[in-house]
Homo-oligomer: A and B are copies of this chain.
Amino acid sequence: MFDILLSIREESESPLYLRIYKQIRERITCGSILGNTRLPSVKALQLQLNISKTPIETAYQMLSAEGFVYSKPRSGYYSVNMGSACSPGIDMPSDAGTLQSPEQPMLREYAIDFHPGSVDHDMFPIRTWKRMLNLALEDYSRSIGKSGDMMGEIGLRRALADYLRSSRGVACSPEQIVIGTGISSSMDLLAKLIDGIDHVAYEEPGFKQVRDQLLSHGYRLIPIPVDSESFQIQSLEDSKAHMVYVTPSHQFPTGRVMPYVERERLLHWANKGHAYIIEDDYDGEFRYFGKPIPSLQSIDRHGRVIYIGTFSKAFTPALRMNYMVLPQSFMSKLTKMSSGLSCPSRIEQWAMQAFIEQGHWYRHIRRMRNKYRRKHDQIIECIRAMFGDKVEITGHSAGLHIQITVRTELGANDLLMLAADKGVRVYDFRQMWMKPNDAGYPRIYLGFAGLSESDMDKGIRLLKEAWSDILI
């Protein structure tokens, strides 16, 4: 057992759990707490600090979720081996997102659709957004006849650079940001910017839309297996890949959060081999438990990370606006080929700039995070109440969808059909696998952001009815 002296009495506005979390994290990442060291118990820290148990438990749960510590049953928490480098003092990141288009043809009507790409339409700030659009049209009436900068309006890029720095720890100049129309436009642009790469690694399962894009650009794909437990980084290191696409904040679709130590190892791989990491932080704004892990971009010191974020999750997918933060080394090439870019409406970019500058964005994110936290807690509670141990919930505590594993002898497709008969749409995401793996119980995905609380409850209840006879 290792004793740590925490000084939590300092003048600080951040909550107690966060101060505890930060101090332990810092000592682990800097090596002042060595790897695999048993940490003080909750009770011990409680006595030492003379505070309640809750903030200490929260801090440990965060550290555990983010891979700084691990727990051994009936033994307590242990520090993870961080290797050498001391992580820079990031002031806790918090957000981003990407267009997550549905499986197309909606051939039948569903009363309740757990679509993972939908967001809450009731919370959309219609009146404020109208005002921003009107303002944009008036303020920029003299610019409306010109096509503008295809990399995006510099004002919006400035506002975004500020936001990304303060909330995701992403360090970049406005010039490194390219505003795009979604993940497809970002992948198209990257394919044009990056030469000489044949093999691209890819999470298996992963975001099908991106996989299709990579294939259409002629890359050879190397699937790297990922599940709720692990991302097989060793097979990446053994591969020919010089680029990898990852969703570390909330792996799509499994919902796994990539632990800190894996992030460091991934960056190490990229540095060593002059490879690139595409970090798609598609729903990084939404974590319901503590604060997010630093983005890869924020701990990258060698310009190996391409960071992608979106307005589709935190604002609306109807806007079709996203952004990409490119390494400095891409700048000269980018400037030369900027006519091949796919850029969203200038009018909506001006509106978004005003929305951020006037503080509406930050307020909106806070409101949405609270709202989605409630929905997240509610769907989990409801599933537990309805299904008990017949269904295992994973990939939660972040993002806008959860993964459930259903104890049944039927396949995922059967579950979808039974649900559809009750008018409920759920997703099997089989197409997210390059090589679908039918071993084990079927996994089903439920997005909860787009449904009202009552529809969500009703939907789960209908799922229970639909599946009650086939659960084992």
Contact = CB atoms under 8 A, between A and B. Distances in A.
Interface in A119-164: 119-121, 124, 126, 129-130, 133-134, 137-138, 140-148, 150
Contact of A216 (B102, B142, B192, B319): B192
Contacts of A370: none
B320 A345 contact: yes
A339 B208 contact: yes
Interface string A248-272: 0000000000000000000000000
A130 B133 CA distance: 8
Q: Tell me the interface secondary structure of chain A in the complex.
A: loop
A119 B343 CA distance: 18
A23 interface: no
Interface in A170-187: 181-182, 184-185
A48 B383 CA distance: 87
Given A185-B342, A342-B185, A346-B320, A337 B212 contact: yes
Contact of A137 (B126, B137, B209): B126
B319 A150 contact: no
A188 interface: yes
A316 interface: yes
Contact of A101 (B143, B184, B339): B339
Q: How many copies of this chain? A: 2
B343 A345 contact: no
Contacts of A119: 145
B130 A145 contact: no
Interface string A306-343: 00000010001111110000000000000101111111
B342 A345 contact: no
A152 to B, nearest CB: 11
A435 to B, nearest CB: 19
A141 to B, nearest CB: 6
Contacts of A130: 133-134, 137
Given A104-B335, A188-B342, A318 B181 contact: no
A117 interface: yes
A297 interface: no
A205 interface: no
A406 to B, nearest CB: 26
B145 A338 contact: no
Nearest to A119: B145
Given A126-B141, A148-B318, A181 B450 contact: no
Interface in A62-113: 99-102, 104-105
Q: How large is the interface on A (under 10, 10 to 19, 20 to 34, 35 or more residues)?
A: 35 or more
Could you say which of A118, A142, A320 has the most chain B C-beta atoms within 10 Å of its C-beta?
A320
Nearest to A316: B144
Nearest to A312: B147
Contact of A344 (B101, B212, B317, B345): B345
A249 to B, nearest CB: 20
B339 A320 contact: no
A412 B315 CA distance: 48
B121 A143 contact: yes
Contacts of A391: none
A443 interface: no
9 contacts: A101-B147, A104-B339, A119-B145, A124-B141, A130-B134, A145-B450, A146-B450, A148-B317, A188-B342
Which 10 pairs from chain A and chain B are nearest by CB?
A121-B145, A147-B317, A318-B346, A209-B339, A119-B145, A342-B342, A185-B342, A181-B342, A101-B339, A144-B318
Given A144-B318, A145-B318, A146-B317, 14 more contacts: A100-B147, A118-B147, A121-B143, A121-B146, A124-B144, A124-B145, A145-B449, A145-B450, A216-B340, A318-B345, A319-B345, A321-B345, A342-B342, A348-B348
